[in-house]
Amino acid sequence: MMMARQFIEAVKKEAVYKLKEGTQGSYYYSSGARILPNRVSISREREITKVARTGRNLLHPIIGQLIGRFTKEETSPLKRYRPFFCRTQLWQIPEYPFFIGYGSIGISNNEGKINRASDTGDLVVLTTAERNWDTLRIYYFPGMIQQLNAVMQYLSESI
């Protein structure tokens, strides 16, 4: 378990996003790792785009979505194909109520669409200390969606 903990610690990236004043779900990068787009839309308890109720969408309650698009100037390992979208459902794990939820990042493929095959397997976990979600902390773990339980255990013990 110690080795897994050290590995999770080594690959973890963290960023802070702040809600744009006067909006319900438009967040802008504030500090930390620059992996996700500078601006992301995060919905609460609703879907921005409709997604089929299959696979992972049946495992945990859907708490919302995170959607972003990279600008021409931005660089990221997630920015591969036009129109440079990234998106994930956000699911809540009842055993970890301290966290808003988690997601697995999907990015635009060579046809410009996001589908099951364009899921990167990168895990994001969102948390906030505020009831109104003005400031969000997003933890990013590349290729770690299959290690969800280990990552959630690590985060619950370390933050």
User: What pLDDT, on the 0 to 100 scale, is given for residue 2?
Assistant: 73
Rounded alpha-carbon distances, angstroms, from residue 19 to 23, 26, 27, 99, 141: 7, 6, 4, 18, 23
User: What pLDDT, on the 0 to 100 scale, is given for residue 44?
Assistant: 85
Residues 120-134 have a mean pLDDT of: 95
86 Cβ contact partners less than 8 Å away, ≥ 6 residues apart: 36, 37, 67, 68, 69, 70, 78, 105, 106, 107, 108, 114
**Tell me: the pLDDT tens digits for 49-108?**
555 555 555 568 889 999 999 999 999 999 999 999 999 999 999 999 999 999 999 999
3-state secondary structure of 7: helix
Q: Which of 82, 92, 88 is nearest to 40 (CA)?
A: 88
116 Cβ contact partners less than 8 Å away, ≥ 6 residues apart: 55, 106
Distance between CA atoms of residues 127 and 135, nearest Å: 9
| Share above pLDDT 90 across residues of the chain, in percent, rounded to a whole number | 84
- Give pTM, 2 decimals: 0.92
